[in-house]
Structure 1
Amino acid sequence: METNQLHRGRLIDHIQLVVSDLQASQDFYTAVLAVLEIPIIGTSDDFFWADELVVSSAGSPAALGVLTGRCHLAFQARDQAMVEAFHRAALAHGGRDNGPPGERPYHPGYYAAFVLDPDGNNIEAVYHGEARRSAPSVVIDF
């Protein structure tokens, strides 16, 4: 029997979104990330970043002039109130509703809201409920 380790926590090192209107995206992400308590760390003329998320214009050297396709990004929220604040901030800063705050059938306690960012990416804030908040790494025998 083979033993594999599954890790909880950081899976992705970073993600880059290449957008059509950098200022509109910066306004949107600054607002929604603020309610999730994730600060914008830095900005330049053709990109900005927050933690593992980099958002750049098509003119950025790393973008090679190509916009990214439609993506789904899900940000973790501390509680249901944070999910609701995310949804309100997104709608007030150029986002479009893609699913109001509420329970989803993915697992018990899955509370999320979905919005489309200025480029049509499906952006989610999710609270997994108390039962899943501190789940440790697990070892599974196959």
Structure 2
Amino acid sequence: MQFHRGRLVDHIHLRVADLDASKNFYRAVFAALGHKDALQEGPGFFYADELFVDKADGYITRVHLAFQAPDRETVQRFHQAALAAGGRDNGAPGERPYHPGYFGAFVLDPDGNNIEAVFHGPAERSAPSVVITA
């Protein structure tokens, strides 16, 4: 049996009511999983570059889930398909100021979660995915 990791989810952003309680929770959980040194402080906190947690400040959505896209055209197709399937626009396809080459689109799913597709610009991957054989 094989499992592939690193192909679908780009990053997750959680909006929380109590930042300190969440920081303590995730610090303990990730230490138990062997990632005790992964915490990075910022306006919230990060674990590696995949999970960002900050304080909810009136936003309707609590979860932001970003999917990887291989190019800008895929980001555009994602946005069109999401709107056609009942999603609501939350940011048309375009460049974002997060880093050079960041091209993303945002929609709200039927439950109001902020869903994104992102292309980070031309890059060479060391592998298409991590293959785990069990």
Q: Which TM-score bucket, shorter chain as reference?
A: 0.3 to 0.5
User: What's the TM-score once normalised by structure 2's chain length?
Assistant: 0.48
> Structure 1 or 2: larger strand share?
2
User: What's the TM-score once normalised by structure 1's chain length?
Assistant: 0.45
